[in-house]
């Protein structure tokens, strides 16, 4: 295990910051064109920010919600319940949101407003620590790799600390690797082009943007040392559901004989999910495919397929990296061990 | 070999049409938003149309150039040489362009303007026949397939007749198959979204558009029966250089156990090219990646990788389909037999 160099805090990205009686969030809907901050003071404005996607990524939504609930409880210690309930329901499918709000409410129930504020800080510190632990495990596995390909956005804009997959890349750089990040644009919603490029530029890490379909050819030509991606959901057997395009990169990495690493918190592992075929793939609207950056790309009304995710079979994954350790290769036994 | 149903001529696409002393071309730079025709009357305006990409695709460039040269010779039988030389140099790397102009010039030398006009028609007829022959061979191989995935634009907008890969799809439909075409958008220049969608809409063939990275997941889920693509250059061993993204689809088709068919004229086969690793991959400008449909997608000045092509190893190709027959699987012997 290599030693971690001191991180350059001046260059870290912190999109959710508690500052006294206020929560400051970086409005991600305006990136990369504009860097604007919004000040939130309670549960209702935090709920609105989460609903309009100014804050995104399950861990970051949890962190923001925890602070929003705590600020609400501190401001209205006798009348916070309705506001906190609104916040808890801001995005119905975000598991971390309800979990974080419930933790803060329970703390308030036992210890009042001060305990709630402390609990919100504890949740954020826990997510930061998880990101650091995951990054260290991933960097151990990818020691010696320099040209790293990634997909979608998995940095500080999505999770606590430095992110998941992008935290691994940052940790490699912090340990002294001359990292060059190959960023897939991630059509249709372009999280790579919009968010990952912005993060890497802010962090001062060398990077190049490419269209998703160019990744395989570069791997085949020996121009990539490893691929590292995040995960939305991991099945008990190690199959990975993640942003559409992930499976393509896994096939190409295997054909090129380079590591394909999946990084994410253990909360992404769903032991009730037998394998990846059981994942229901969300099919999103056609306009996301017909358009890019506000421009129309095709004939008006063209019918589209738009699956948001795909499934990468565990056999193509070199290692599943979590804050609690590594499953390499991921299978029923190694994934189960991470949860035990 | 199945019998070909009569083609629905009313629905065919003819982007290069000789009409008396005039050549009418569909201006492809305006598709899919606008369908505008330009009338060309000689060598210089044909050269200008080719140079600004109003006509594209090597076979179509050859056809247009042949007619442009013949019209120039007919209009100025004593003073055509300078204009024809300008046309021959309109795009320096287009092999079909010089070849077509030289054939028409040689005909004029022997038989005057009438022979030149006849030779231009013969070149177009030859390209049309090649497309039909290729389509029949491809449809024989893909008999029974219904859900066909394709990439880039390989229809009448690119070649004579009905195209190459897209001609195979049209032939399947003409033979009665209930075809559903899955069109990959083909970033960065979006030839799938702009041109193939337009052709299929015009032809009345059911289709759906998808981002390139969604293709692999659909194949894995059993939603695609076969993939068929064109080729820019085929090596002597059967390795295929084609639009970036082709290799990705080949990997996914192999993993899904479905046919991956490459369609193109024998003129695409380069017997001097030992294998695909010898192909020099053109790296194009960064703005193509930073933008789509005129919209900027990322931070200004972001460095990019933009390989225009990739190489698919012959081992992943089920069949190479040409106007002279099929190499299945393509290897040094079967590809050599197509040229002998």
Nearest by CB to B214, from A198, A296, A305: name it: A305
Nearest by CB to A198, from B198, B201, B299: name it: B299
Nearest by CB to B298, from A194, A216, A217: name it: A194
Predicted confidence (pLDDT) at residue B7 exceeds the cutoff of 60: no
Kindly report the average pLDDT of chain A as a whole number.
94
Kindly report the average pLDDT of chain B as a whole number.
94
Q: Which residues of A touch B247 (CB under 8 A)?
A: 216-217, 220, 252
Q: Which residues of B touch A227 (CB under 8 A)?
A: none
B201/A289 CB distance under 8 A: no
Nearest by CB to A248, from B198, B252, B295: name it: B252
Average pLDDT over residues A34-40: 95
B304/A217 CB distance under 8 A: no
Residue for token pair 């430095």: A162
Predicted confidence (pLDDT) at residue B81 exceeds the cutoff of 80: yes
> For the segment B201-216, what is each residue's pLDDT rounded down to a tens digit?
999 999 999 999 999 9
B252/A252 CB distance under 8 A: no
CA of A302 vs chain B CAs: smallest distance (Å):
7
β-pair partners for A147: A180
Q: Which residues of A touch B304 (CB under 8 A)?
A: 208-210
- Residue A1 has a pLDDT of 35
CA of B182 vs chain A CAs: smallest distance (Å):
8
- Residue A9 has a pLDDT of 43
CA-nearest residue of chain B to A297? B293
CA of B258 vs chain A CAs: smallest distance (Å):
15
Residue for token pair 């999109």: A15
Nearest by CB to A293, from B182, B289, B296: name it: B296
> For the segment A295-335, what is each residue's pLDDT rounded down to a tens digit?
999 999 999 999 999 999 999 999 999 999 999 999 999 99
A295/B298 CB distance under 8 A: no
Contact of A63 with A109, CB cutoff 8 Å: no
Predicted confidence (pLDDT) at residue A234 exceeds the cutoff of 50: yes
Cα distances (Å, whole numbers) of residue A228 to A169, A201, A225, A247, A265: 8, 19, 10, 12, 14
- Residue B58 has a pLDDT of 86
CA of A10 vs chain B CAs: smallest distance (Å):
21
Contact of B209 with A304, CB cutoff 8 Å: yes
Predicted confidence (pLDDT) at residue A5 exceeds the cutoff of 50: no
- In A189-318, which ranges are E strands? 207-210, 226-229, 233-235, 240-243, 260-263, 269-270, 291-292, 295-296, 309-312
Rg of chain B (C-alpha set): 20
The percentage of residues in chain B with a pLDDT greater than 70, rounded to a whole number, is 96
Average pLDDT over residues B248-256: 98
Q: Which residues of B touch A310 (CB under 8 A)?
A: 214, 216-217, 220
Nearest by CB to B182, from A252, A297, A305: name it: A305
> For the segment B222-234, what is each residue's pLDDT rounded down to a tens digit?
999 999 999 999 9
Q: Which residues of A touch B309 (CB under 8 A)?
A: 217
A·B CB contacts under 8 A = 189
| Confidence band of B265 (pLDDT split at 50, 70, 90) | very high
The residue among A211, A284, A299 with the most chain B CBs within 10 A of its CB, best to mutate, is A211
A211/B187 CB distance under 8 A: yes
Contact of A264 with A230, CB cutoff 8 Å: yes
- Residue A92 has a pLDDT of 76
CA of B287 vs chain A CAs: smallest distance (Å):
11
Nearest by CB to B213, from A32, A187, A209: name it: A187
Q: Which residues of A touch B303 (CB under 8 A)?
A: 207-209
The dihedral region occupied by A201, where left means phi > 0, alpha psi between -120 and 50, and beta the remainder, is alpha
- Residue A3 has a pLDDT of 36
b (16+ CB within 10 A) / e for A297-319: bbbeebebbbbbbbbbbbebbbb
- The values of phi and psi at residue B82, to 5°, are -65, -45
Write down the H helix ranges in chain B. 43-51, 58-75, 81-88, 95-141, 165-174, 191, 197-203, 215-220, 246-256, 287-290, 332-339
More confident residue, B221 or B93: B221
B292/A294 CB distance under 8 A: no
- Residue A11 has a pLDDT of 56
- Residue B315 has a pLDDT of 98
Least confident interval from A90-99, A143-152, A264-273: A90-99
Average pLDDT over residues B107-124: 97
CA-nearest residue of chain A to B193? A298
B307/A218 CB distance under 8 A: yes
Q: Which residues contact A230 (CB under 8 A, 6 or more apart)?
A: A152, A154, A158, A164, A165, A242, A243, A262, A263, A264
More confident residue, A9 or A271: A271
Number of CB atoms found within 10 A of residue A239's CB = 24
The residue among A32, A217, A303 with the most chain B CBs within 10 A of its CB, best to mutate, is A217
| Confidence band of A57 (pLDDT split at 50, 70, 90) | confident
CA of A68 vs chain B CAs: smallest distance (Å):
31
Predicted confidence (pLDDT) at residue A113 exceeds the cutoff of 80: yes
Residues of B annotated as catalytic are: 232
Nearest by CB to B299, from A197, A297, A311: name it: A197
Q: Which residues of A touch B181 (CB under 8 A)?
A: none
Predicted confidence (pLDDT) at residue B3 exceeds the cutoff of 80: no
The pair of three-digit structure tokens given for residue A125, joined into one six-digit string? 């510190």
Predicted confidence (pLDDT) at residue B46 exceeds the cutoff of 70: yes
- Residue A7 has a pLDDT of 47
CA of B180 vs chain A CAs: smallest distance (Å):
11
Average pLDDT over residues A261-283: 93
Distance (Å, whole) CA B85 – CA B307: 32
A201/B302 CB distance under 8 A: yes
Q: Which residues of A touch B32 (CB under 8 A)?
A: 298-299
Predicted confidence (pLDDT) at residue B294 exceeds the cutoff of 60: yes
B216/A304 CB distance under 8 A: no
Predicted confidence (pLDDT) at residue B9 exceeds the cutoff of 60: no
| Confidence band of B11 (pLDDT split at 50, 70, 90) | low
B209/A185 CB distance under 8 A: no
Instruction: Spot the catalytic one: A102, A232, A270, A331.
Output: A232
CA of A304 vs chain B CAs: smallest distance (Å):
4
Predicted confidence (pLDDT) at residue B105 exceeds the cutoff of 70: yes
């Amino acid at each position: 295990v290599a030693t971690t160099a001191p991180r350059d805090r001046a260059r870290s990205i912190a999109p959710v910051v508690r500052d006294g009686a206020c929560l400051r969030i970086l409005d991600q809907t305006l990136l990369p064109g504009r860097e604007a901050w919004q000040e939130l003071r309670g549960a209702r404005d935090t709920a609105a920010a989460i609903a309009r996607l100014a804050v995104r990524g399950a861990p970051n939504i949890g962190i923001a919600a925890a602070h929003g609930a705590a600020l609400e409880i501190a401001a209205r210690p006798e009348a916070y319940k309705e506001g906190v309930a609104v916040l808890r329901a801001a995005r119905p499918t975000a598991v971390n949101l309800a979990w974080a709000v419930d933790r803060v409410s329970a703390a308030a129930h036992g210890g009042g407003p001060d305990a709630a504020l402390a609990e919100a800080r504890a949740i954020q510190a826990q997510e930061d620590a998880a990101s650091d632990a995951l990054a260290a495990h991933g960097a151990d596995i990818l020691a010696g790799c320099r040209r790293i390909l990634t997909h979608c956005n998995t940095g500080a804009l999505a999770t606590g600390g430095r992110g998941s997959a992008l935290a691994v890349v940052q940790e490699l750089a912090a340990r002294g690797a001359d990292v060059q990040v190959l960023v897939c644009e991630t059509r249709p919603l372009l999280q790579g082009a919009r968010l990952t490029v912005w993060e890497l530029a802010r962090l001062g890490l060398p990077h190049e943007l490419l269209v998703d379909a160019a990744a395989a050819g570069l791997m085949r030509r020996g121009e990539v040392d490893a691929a590292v991606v995040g995960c939305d959901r991991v099945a008990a057997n190690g199959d990975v559901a993640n942003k559409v395009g992930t499976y393509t990169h896994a096939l190409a990495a295997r054909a090129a004989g380079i590591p394909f690493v999946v990084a994410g918190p253990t909360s992404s592992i769903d032991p009730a999910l037998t394998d990846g075929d059981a994942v229901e793939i969300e099919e999103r609207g056609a306009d996301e495919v017909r358009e890019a950056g506000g421009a129309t790309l095709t004939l008006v009304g063209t019918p589209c397929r738009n699956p948001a995710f795909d499934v990468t079979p565990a056999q193509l994954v070199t290692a599943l990296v979590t804050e609690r350790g590594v499953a390499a290769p991921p299978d029923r036994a190694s994934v189960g061990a991470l949860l035990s």
